[in-house]
Amino acid sequence: MRVVGLFGGMFDPPHLGHVAAAEAALAGLGLDELVVTVAKDPRHRSAPVAPAELRLEMTRAAFADVGGAVVSDLELRRDGPTYTIDTVEALLDQDHGSRIVVVVGADAAAAMGRWHRAGELAALVEVGVVPRSGGPWAVPAGFRVRRVDMAPVDLSSSGVRAALLAGADPGGLLPRKVVPLALASRRYSR
């Protein structure tokens, strides 16, 4: 049975912490493939700074050298709000025999019980929880959870955006191939 990871997010912008999480999930969870999806309209977040097309282009650049990672525009092509359960169902329709592992940060894992159709999602997937800096993580009730073994990376997209706006060197924040895209967009710089 194939084991497919699902790693979704706004990727506004995709940073080195995202790449580290993807590599750790691929290695530590025994994934055959990691589908990286760029969210279009997540209901639990504020609107992204960069448009969807730019976030997709940056995400493709960020994960280009991560063996086993495939960046998908599946959620961007969908009309209406973005829900993980819909993406999981679409992946299962494409690959009937797969087992799906949703890869999330510890902060997101704590809220999964409140996600759209959470009970159905819990029945369909396992959850790979990536540790975040700043403390312990809660196991979402009803979900089968595995911890992704990696040291927490102290980066967030909002923190990266603030640092770039303040003129920080993006080299320690963004994957090398993302730097020119982020800076050229003028979305993250003055």
Burial of 138 (0-12, 13-18, 19+ CB in 10 A): middle
Q: For position 187, what pLDDT does the model report?
A: 84
Length of the chain: 190
Q: For position 147, what pLDDT does the model report?
A: 93
Both structure tokens of 80: 């209406």
The b/e string for 72-95 (b: 16+ C-beta within 10 A; e otherwise) is bebbbeeeeebbbbbbbbbbbeee
Q: Which CATH class is domain 3-184?
A: alpha beta
Q: For position 82, what pLDDT does the model report?
A: 82
Q: For position 135, what pLDDT does the model report?
A: 66
Element (H, E) at 72: strand 69-72
Can you give the pTM of this predicted structure?
0.94
pLDDT for 29-70, tens place per residue? 999 999 999 998 666 667 889 999 999 999 999 999 999 999
Q: For position 101, what pLDDT does the model report?
A: 98
pLDDT for 105-120, tens place per residue? 998 898 999 999 999 9
The confidence band for 188, taking pLDDT boundaries of 50, 70 and 90, is: confident
State what percent of residues in the chain have pLDDT above 90.
75
**What is residue 24's DSSP assignment?**
H
Q: For position 97, what pLDDT does the model report?
A: 86
